[in-house]
Structure 1
Amino acid sequence: MTLTLLSIFASSFMIAFSGAMMPGPLMTVTISESTRRGAVAGPLMIFGHGLLELVLAGALLSGFAAVLGRDDVFVVIALLGGATLFWMGCSMLRSLPTLQLPSVIAAETGKNLVLAGIVLSVCNPYWLIWWASIGLGYILHSARFGLLGVAAFFTGHLLADLLWYSLISFGISRGRRLFSPVAYRRLIGCCALFLLCFSCYFFYSGVEKLV
């Protein structure tokens, strides 16, 4: 039994870690917020992301997977997610002319990063589809070994996300001292452009599914 739980934990960790390393809206905002908040940005974003995943997993086990697999649900999520990311990207671009590199202390009262982690996860239709397919299958497999099996799966999955995003935030926050105001604006500008690209991709995916 112990070897089985370790196997579930290790495979869950590796699958999640490979997914966490792929760029996406959550990664993009984590990078930009790490310049403002420091190394705490990544863990806070993943805390919100993880809370949502726990709720979603419970919903999937209760039969919600069939709803997420519907084309009309995908279209709605893709279009709303695309609109949200488009708004975020445009807001970041509009702020560039007057943007200054803030101190970590001064930025602590800003954006709620836990909530941002939740919103950015919901905005990504492919994250929901992953959980409705691969994630659900893995949960059901883990559930064969009881609560410990499910716990091993989630522990491995969440630790992988936490480790990678913590490393990203730590690296960015340590390097923030090397940023000039121009370099800082360029970084935020690149993050904004990535969000706009993701928004266009989500819009395209939604319209393609619709027609």
Structure 2
Amino acid sequence: MDFMLATLLSVTVISFSGVLMPGPMFALTLSRSYHTPWAGAQIVLGHVLVELPIILLIYFGFAGFFELVWVQILLSLAGGIMIIYMGLGMIKARREAAQDKANFKYNTVVSGAAMSALNPFFLVWWATVGAMLVMKVSDYGLGGLGALAATHWLVDLAWLCLVSFIVYRTHRLWGSRVREIVFIGCGLLLAAFGVYFIVSGLKLWL
């Protein structure tokens, strides 16, 4: 049991180190929290819908699939293009967003799922660091796997819900111009990650 608790503690620390770094999900949370304090929870739900089957695949021995070069290239190119598209969509909707009138093409849960599924580094992380953690709890069966997944998701949920709540409660104090600038920043951040994914995929290809 002490080993299991130590493993869950390491999961908490590793998860926090990942979720605290600005990335596509963070930028998405900032933009969607203009409209609801539950944006963070909705994004995590989309994230879980993608992550759960990946965790199960790794548990049952398919971690190597996510390390295949052609899989990483395909996800890097397709994911990069999609994330750039979503980032440009944010920039285009900046004026409506500043007035709390933005109408997004994809709902928040779907967008959260897309940010996970189309992020090649997310899959590589689970095929390496994540697979190591899964192996550590494998002796405890599905109960240990469930504890690992729940710990990881609670960290994501706590941080993104905090961000979402703060943004929702304070964004009206920023002024429309500041809100517009923040929205542009989120869009540019997403587009930058998209470019980075594409470049990474092309490097693997070449």
Q: 2:154 aligns with which of 152, 155, 159?
A: 159
Q: Higher mean Cα deviation, 170-179 or 73-82? A: 170-179
Residue 48 of structure 1, CA deviation: 1.3
- Could you say which residue in structure 2 is the equivalent of 1:208? 203
> Is 2:7 the counterpart of 1:12?
no
What TM-score comes out, normalization by structure 1 length?
Answer: 0.90
Gap change, CA 1:175 and 1:146, over 3 Å in 2: same
Matched pairs, number: 206
Gap change, CA 1:156 and 1:146, over 3 Å in 2: same
Alpha-carbon separation, structure 2, partners of 1:120 and 1:8? 27
Instruction: Answer whether contact 1:48 1:115 (CA < 8 A) is retained.
Output: yes
Gap change, CA 1:185 and 1:10, over 3 Å in 2: same
Alpha-carbon separation, structure 2, partners of 1:185 and 1:50? 30
Residue 151 of structure 1, CA deviation: 2.2
- Helix, strand or coil for the counterpart of 1:117? helix
User: Counterpart amino acid of 1:17?
Assistant: F
**Dislocated runs of 4+, deviation >4 Å:** none
User: Counterpart amino acid of 2:196?
Assistant: Y
Residue 197 of structure 1, CA deviation: 0.7
Identity of aligned pairs, percent? 32
- Could you say which residue in structure 1 is the equivalent of 2:62? 64
Instruction: Answer whether contact 1:8 1:149 (CA < 8 A) is retained.
Output: no
Alpha-carbon separation, structure 1, partners of 2:150 and 2:97? 39
CA RMSD between the two structures = 1.9
- Could you say which residue in structure 2 is the equivalent of 1:76? 74
Residue 158 of structure 1, CA deviation: 0.9
- Helix, strand or coil for the counterpart of 2:62? helix
Give CA-to-partner distance per residue, 1:25-75, whole Å, 9 cap, x none: 1110111101122x2000110111122211111122233222210111101
Alpha-carbon separation, structure 1, partners of 2:143 and 2:200? 37
- Could you say which residue in structure 2 is the equivalent of 1:141? 136
Instruction: Answer whether contact 1:76 1:206 (CA < 8 A) is retained.
Output: yes
- Could you say which residue in structure 2 is the equivalent of 1:120? 115
- Could you say which residue in structure 2 is the equivalent of 1:26? 25
Alpha-carbon separation, structure 2, partners of 1:115 and 1:183? 27
Unaligned runs of 5+ in 1: none
What TM-score comes out, normalization by structure 2 length?
Answer: 0.93
Gap change, CA 1:97 and 1:110, over 3 Å in 2: closer
Residue 165 of structure 1, CA deviation: 0.6
Give CA-to-partner distance per residue, 1:5-39, whole Å, 9 cap, x none: 322222211111111001111110111101122x2
- Could you say which residue in structure 1 is the equivalent of 2:87? 89
Alpha-carbon separation, structure 1, partners of 2:140 and 2:80? 39
Instruction: Answer whether contact 1:31 1:168 (CA < 8 A) is retained.
Output: yes
Unaligned runs of 5+ in 2: none
Instruction: Answer whether contact 2:7 2:136 (CA < 8 A) is retained.
Output: no
Alpha-carbon separation, structure 2, partners of 1:76 and 1:13? 30
Alpha-carbon separation, structure 1, partners of 2:152 and 2:139? 18
Q: 1:55 aligns with which of 53, 56, 61?
A: 53
Give CA-to-partner distance per residue, 1:63-103, whole Å, 9 cap, x none: 32222101111010000011001111222222335544217
Gap change, CA 1:175 and 1:110, over 3 Å in 2: farther
